[in-house]
């Protein structure tokens, strides 16, 4: 009799997800899936299942992934030490070739396979494919950083084409500039640009750290652009978190409804954030929070 009660409970819980599904029906959700988050095996399964469930529920998920630790390991196996400048990988010929193989080859296809394994349908792209992203050199420190780039333009028609057919785009943040030179792009920044081009309902940045904390040291469920800028100025938002927060603010400024930094180490973080009232991180919004939703501390 126990399974029967469980089934009843399950059906009841399922039915509670309806208003959340309706809220995002037909809307794009861009998910930055970090290389660190990925390396914890169990989470990967839950991640792919969550993505497939979003798709099945009428949401249009787009994944942008990183792969820093995987590139580090790859280079190390070849006896090359990863070097960074202000948190950005110094990228020479060896590094850009490695980034391409690891990101567009290994990591990208692993995610595609994970989604297929749970019955979804995904297609892996780099920024070069179908001219999705045109890169340009990151303006300052170009000499120091080498082939590091940033998105100059996003041509999103291919994403709409795939989403229309129920296919989940999985994007490796490597693109060519006007001269055809490959350039490595920070995955958060790529995700933000893509979210802006799609006028997404959400940019979700999955990290392996807890939520942003306020002056009282407590996690903050949501923040307006203004307030977030104030906290950065005051130094309350810590150094490592600052560029992530700024990427979120940029996305919101460019028309994304809201951006969320959330702890990807939680199981089903995506469902928690989108399909329950709990939320799973810190949400950044323009003036008013979307849906006037009350968020409790994560």
Give the footprint of a copy of itself on residues 4-23 (CB under 8 A).
4, 7-19, 21-22
Window 158-197: residues binding a copy of itself (CB under 8 A): 158, 161-162, 165, 167, 174, 176, 180, 182
Window 77-106: residues binding a copy of itself (CB under 8 A): 77-78, 97, 100-106
Compose the 198-237 pattern: x for residues touching a copy of itself by CB under 8 A, - for all others: ----------------------------------------
Which has the closest alpha carbon to 255: 225, 232, 278?
Answer: 225
Kindly indicate which of the ranges 119-127, 204-212, 238-246, 255-263 contains the residues binding a copy of itself, using the contact rule CB under 8 A. Answer: 119-127
Structure tokens at 13: 């819980």
Which has the closest alpha carbon to 152: 139, 162, 165?
Answer: 139
Q: How far is the CB of 132 from a copy of itself (least distance, A)?
A: 9
Can residue 287 be called a binding residue for a copy of itself (CB under 8 A)? no
Q: How far is the CB of 79 from a copy of itself (least distance, A)?
A: 10
**Of 72, 129, 136, 246, which one interacts with a copy of itself (CB under 8 A)?**
129
Contact (Cβ atoms closer than 8 angstroms) between residue 27 and residue 59: yes
**Of 57, 186, 207, 247, which one interacts with a copy of itself (CB under 8 A)?**
57
Instruction: Give the CA distances from residue 292 to residues 24, 248, 279, 297, in Å, rounded to whole numbers and listed in that order.
Output: 15, 19, 13, 16
Q: How far is the CB of 233 from a copy of itself (least distance, A)?
A: 31
Q: How far is the CB of 171 from a copy of itself (least distance, A)?
A: 12
**Of 58, 87, 240, 255, which one interacts with a copy of itself (CB under 8 A)?**
58
Q: What is the DSSP letter of 154?
A: E
Instruction: Give the CA distances from residue 261 to residues 57, 106, 193, 209, 232, in Å, rounded to whole numbers and listed in that order.
Output: 22, 25, 16, 9, 15
Q: How far is the CB of 254 from a copy of itself (least distance, A)?
A: 25
For the packed helices 225-234 and 242-253, what is the interaxial angle rounded to 10 degrees? 150
Number of neighbours of residue 158 by Cβ within 10 angstroms: 15
Toward a copy of itself, which CB reaches closer, 45 or 226?
A: 45
Q: Give the whole-angstrom CA distance, residue 297 versus residue 280.
A: 8
């Amino acid at each position: 009799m126990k399974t029967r009660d469980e089934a009843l409970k399950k059906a009841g819980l399922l039915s509670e997800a309806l208003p959340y599904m309706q809220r995002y029906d037909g809307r794009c959700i861009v998910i930055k899936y970090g290389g660190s988050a990925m390396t914890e095996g169990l989470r990967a399964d839950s991640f792919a299942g969550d993505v497939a469930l979003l798709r099945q529920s009428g949401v249009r998920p787009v994944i942008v992934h990183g792969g820093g630790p995987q590139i580090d390991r790859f280079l190390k196996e070849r006896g090359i030490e990863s070097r960074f400048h202000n948190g950005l990988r110094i990228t020479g010929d060896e590094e850009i070739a490695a980034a391409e193989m690891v990101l567009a080859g290994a990591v990208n296809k692993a995610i595609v396979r994970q989604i297929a394994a749970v019955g979804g349908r995904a297609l892996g792209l780099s920024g070069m494919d179908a001219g999705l992203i045109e890169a340009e050199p990151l303006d300052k420190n170009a000499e120091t950083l080498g082939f590091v780039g940033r998105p100059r333009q996003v041509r999103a028609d291919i994403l709409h084409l795939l989403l229309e057919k129920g296919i989940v785009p999985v994007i490796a943040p490597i693109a060519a500039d006007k001269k055809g030179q490959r350039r490595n792009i920070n995955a958060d920044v790529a995700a933000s640009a893509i979210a802006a081009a799609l006028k997404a309902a959400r940019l979700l940045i999955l990290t392996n750290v807890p939520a942003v904390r306020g002056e009282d040291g407590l996690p903050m469920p949501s923040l307006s652009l203004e307030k977030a800028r104030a906290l950065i100025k005051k130094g309350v938002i810590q150094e490592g978190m600052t560029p992530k927060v700024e990427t979120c603010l940029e996305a919101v400024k460019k028309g994304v409804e809201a951006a969320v930094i959330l702890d990807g180490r939680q199981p089903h973080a995506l469902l928690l954030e989108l399909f329950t009232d709990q939320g799973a991180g810190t949400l950044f919004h323009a003036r008013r929070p979307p849906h006037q939703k009350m968020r409790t501390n994560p």
